[in-house]
Amino acid sequence: MTRREPLRRMVAAVGALLVACSIAGCSPAAGDRADGAASGSAAAPPTPFSGPWADLLTSTYGIATPEERQALEDGTIDELEYGYFRDRIIECLDGLGIEASFAADFTLEYTNGGGVPEDDINACMSEGGIQVLTMKDAIDRNPENLDEAAIMVDCLHRAGIVGPDYTARDYEDGVDLVAMSEDERFIACSEDPLDLRNG
């Protein structure tokens, strides 16, 4: 029987990544991507990145594929580049016999009726440009790269999910995150913590 499998919202995953980066710092590790930092030293952009997202852009560039680097090297990801990598992922999955599409909330939905191994699906994501998509989604949802935990907790307070005593440190420590993760209000905050879609 065909099963519907929505991929976890990429922007929520980006949020978790940014919290981890804020605590431990982000740097590419050798071997993270076979064509990125395989030699042990990550590739550097032709011109150093600037602006609030410079550090993560540099880390992402260092482990990106050559095509991803072309999209990232000017420090911006336009709609044509974004659409190109979305199409690449869809075409790769189609080649595996998997019907897939991106929903309005940036979720990738796919039907894996043939039991395609998850490793093959993940390879389509990685080789198709998922890092470019998540990078643009992260910038669009938090243009000034404000503190991730702080903006999430502010949103959770506004949504009435947590009480006034719930702090950014609680969020970083994972307090009640499992219980909140399926709440539609939490998902909405993960996708748009600054309420940018409404103005």
Side-chain half-sphere exposure of 128, counting CA atoms within 13 A: 23
Q: Alpha carbon 34 to chain centroid distance?
A: 20
CA atoms of 156 and 152, how far apart (whole Å): 6
Radius of gyration of the chain (CA): 18
Digit-coded pLDDT (tens) for 129-188: 999 999 999 999 999 999 999 999 999 999 999 999 999 999 999 999 999 999 999 999
The strand pairing partners of 108, in sequence order, are 102
pTM of this prediction exceeds 0.85: no
pLDDT digit string, tens, across residues 3-60:
334 443 444 445 444 444 444 444 443 344 544 444 445 788 999 999 999 999 999 9
Euclidean distance between CA atoms 147 and 164, whole angstroms: 18
3-state DSSP call for residue 111? strand
Question: Phi, psi (5° rounding) for residue 138?
Answer: -65, -45
| Tokens 């910038």, residue located | 139
